[in-house]
Amino acid sequence: MINFAADLQDDLGLKYIQNFYPFQMDILVYKDKVKVALEAYLSIENLPSEVDVDFPVFLIPKDKVFNAIEFLKKDPSLSLSFLTTMFGIHYPDHLGQEFALVYQLHNMKTNERVRIRTVMAKDDLVMPSITPIFAGANWMEREAFDFYGFTFTGHPNLARILNMDEMNYHPMRKEYRLEDEGRSDKDDKYFGR
Amino acid sequence: MSYLKDTGDIATKEYKDYSTLNLGPTHPATHGIFQNVLTMDGERIVDAKQTVGYIHRAFEKIAERKNYSQITVLTDRLNYCSAPINNLAWHMTVEKLIQCEVPKRAQYLRVIIMELARIADHIICDTVIAVDTGALTGFTYVFQWRELIYEIYEEICGARLTTNIGHVGGLERDFTPTAWAKLEKFLDGFPKVLAEFEKLVTRNRIFMDRTLGVGPISAERALDYSFTGPNLRAAGVDYDVRVAFPYSSYEDFTFDIPIGESGDTYDRFMVRMEEMKQSVSIIQQAKAKMPDGPFHADVPDFYLPSKEDVYSKMEALIYHFKIVMGETKVPKGEIYHSVEAGNGELGYYVISDGGRAPYRLHMRRPCFIYYQAYPEMIKGGLLSDAILTMSSMNVIAGELDA
């Protein structure tokens, strides 16, 4: 789930770490502003939110993501009208919330950015497509479909993009062993997990 | 697929026979592996269907098994025309994750390298636009200076194309006197050559006829398609990551952000042209203001020690082993860091779970995002204009397909 900024300080013990990114008051204030606006528009109480290094992050229920992004784009006081990027993540260990989608929006006039996260269960990967809001989301959603298997309803052409059409699996899911089964020296435990 | 395809509505008497033309995947005019299945009405393009992914190399998946210093070599192969920007962007991302502050000198040296890379990138794009309009002279003449840029890379890191330049925490070595001499030669000679090239092309009747109003995109559509970089600026939006979110001390330098008006091929060409001049100015400022001090931060857990130390000091040997074997502890966290690469906002989104490899690495590749607007930009135009539009968008297959 959401990693709070405080987590960064956990179990580090590295002596040279300074307060390189001072906790930015502007972003905190901006986060509260967006939070209040989103809560009022989506009628959600206590919308989970945090400031992650230099981004305000909002955890939005998956059925309200489309409305939230449309609101953030069209609201004149926020006008987050540029979709920087979007992509999927797979957390096989988070039961009931195995998949996540991240959207990053940007207001170029005021130079403010927002990150939106949503989580979903592995048997319910259907999301409304945001191509009606951002034309540029077309290929980003195709990429998320290609690599993770999200289904975007209302997408004009939800086909695989980087992998070949005949492929019958979604390669970025953390379900596949990368190495030869017989090898013991490349076990996951050697990668710190 | 039949050669002639029946499309259109018979009832409205707009029924026509369209022909299908397969442009690519390996067409000499597309400068890379791109396939476009064009539906043509005579020589006019009615529709284009793109196929991408011919050189997909699964970087994001590979990165999940590589330790942080090994991922740099993957980033080389994104936009291989300006590999140092990708490398240094990756180092800066990791530095942001481990909260390491790089000394001012290293930041300035990095600025010089990144601006050289930007010039090399724009030289390729702009001279190739000229080639596609029939002017081969610029390509052969200006490319000599790209060669000199590659020699400077070679002095700094030992490689030319896939540079793997720098380390987390700084650069692998300070600029050598030869590197400074070559940089001086570049700063002396290149602006004159660029001025000659500009004189040759920019007010040339043939060039202007071929590029003005070709493949235009409005600022609204460009923003809707998440354009960044010179292509967005050509449409008239002055978004530049170097100014919006300064990194590596870009706030210390004075430079202009050139913008176009109509977002056509000519504007994209001119924006890149002016950016090269601005880059030369940034390099000159960085060189003049170059502070003294170390060229790397004191981060022994991440910065590879020098070979003399490895052979003579115990700590250096331990750290060397730990870094090479990927045993260094990286804090948990999620970081997005973006830089202004040759083609726009190149962003790395790293999710670290404390393991030695990223849990997830997402690369925001500017080419991949703006290339999807290509059919819209070439519709209604001629086939020869479509070729020009593609070369002026500077679509790099490596960055497109990751």
- Predicted confidence band of residue B65 (pLDDT cuts 50, 70, 90): confident
Of the candidates B60, B237, B349, which has its C-beta nearest A108's C-beta? B237
For chains A and B, count residue pairs whose Cβ atoms are closer than 8 Å: 128
| Rounded Cα–Cα distance for residues B86 and B279 (Å) | 17
Instruction: Report the percentage of chain B scoring pLDDT > 90.
Output: 40
- Say how many CA atoms lie within 13 Å of B81 toward its Cβ: 25
| Rounded Cα–Cα distance for residues A86 and A115 (Å) | 9
Are B349 and A102 in contact (CB < 8 Å)? yes
Q: With a cut of 90, say whether residue B122 has pLDDT above it.
A: yes
Q: Does A167 touch chain B (CB under 8 A)?
A: no
Is pLDDT larger for residue B232 or for residue A26? B232
Q: Does A59 touch chain B (CB under 8 A)?
A: no
Q: With a cut of 70, say whether residue B365 has pLDDT above it.
A: yes
Pairing state between β A49-52 and A55-59: antiparallel
For CA atoms A151, A155, A160, A161, the dihedral sign is negative
Q: Does A84 touch chain B (CB under 8 A)?
A: yes
Nearest CA in chain B to A111: B244
Give the pLDDT score at B317: 92
Give the pLDDT score at B326: 77
Q: Looking at this protein, which amino acid is placed at residue A80?
A: L
- pLDDT tens for B125-183 read 999 999 888 888 888 889 889 999 999 999 998 888 889 898 888 898 899 999 999 99
Of the candidates B332, B370, B401, which has its C-beta nearest A3's C-beta? B332
Sheet architecture: strand order including A55-59? A49-52, A55-59, A112-120, A99-107, A82-90
Evaluate whether ipTM surpasses 0.85: yes
Asked whether the beta carbons of B143 and B127 are under 8 A apart, the reply is yes
Residue B7, phi-psi category: left (phi > 0), alpha (psi -120 to 50), beta (remainder):
beta
Nearest CA in chain B to A130: B224
- pLDDT tens for B316-332 read 999 898 888 877 888 88
Task: Give the helix/strand (H/E) hosting B81.
Answer: none
Are B347 and A85 in contact (CB < 8 Å)? yes
Give the pLDDT score at A96: 87
Task: Give the helix/strand (H/E) hosting B18.
Answer: strand B16-23
Best CA proximity match to B377, nearest among B259, B213, B190: B213
Whole-number Cα distances in Å, B60 to A116, A172, B296, B360: 21, 8, 28, 7
Instruction: Give which of A7, A15, A16, A20 to mutate to test B binding, by max B Cβ within 10 Å.
Output: A16
* B-contacting residues in A 114-143 (Cβ below 8 Å): 115, 134-140, 143
Record the tokens describing residue B246, joined without a space.
């300064």
* B-contacting residues in A 173-192 (Cβ below 8 Å): 174, 178, 191-192
Instruction: Give which of A9, A18, A82, A93 to mutate to test B binding, by max B Cβ within 10 Å.
Output: A82
- Predicted confidence band of residue A2 (pLDDT cuts 50, 70, 90): very low
φ, ψ (nearest 5 deg) of residue B27: -105, 135
Q: With a cut of 50, say whether residue A68 has pLDDT above it.
A: yes
Give the pLDDT score at A180: 58
Residues of chain B with C-beta less than 8 angstroms from the C-beta of A135 = 221, 224-225, 372-373
- Residue B174 is given by DSSP the state P
Are A139 and B372 in contact (CB < 8 Å)? yes
Say what angle helices B383-393 and B104-132 make with each other, to 10 degrees.
170
Q: With a cut of 80, say whether residue B253 has pLDDT above it.
A: yes
Min distance B15 CA to chain A CA atoms (Å): 25
Are A10 and B56 in contact (CB < 8 Å)? no
Nearest CA in chain B to A178: B65
- pLDDT tens for A101-149 read 999 999 988 888 999 999 999 888 999 999 999 999 999 999 999 999 9
Widest pairwise Cα distance in chain A? 59
Are A171 and B61 in contact (CB < 8 Å)? yes
Best CA proximity match to A122, nearest among A103, A144, A100: A100
Give the pLDDT score at B121: 92
Q: With a cut of 50, say whether residue B223 has pLDDT above it.
A: yes
Give strand pairing partners of A87.
A102
Are B402 and A162 in contact (CB < 8 Å)? yes
- Predicted confidence band of residue A10 (pLDDT cuts 50, 70, 90): very low
- Predicted confidence band of residue B232 (pLDDT cuts 50, 70, 90): very high
Are A164 and B245 in contact (CB < 8 Å)? no
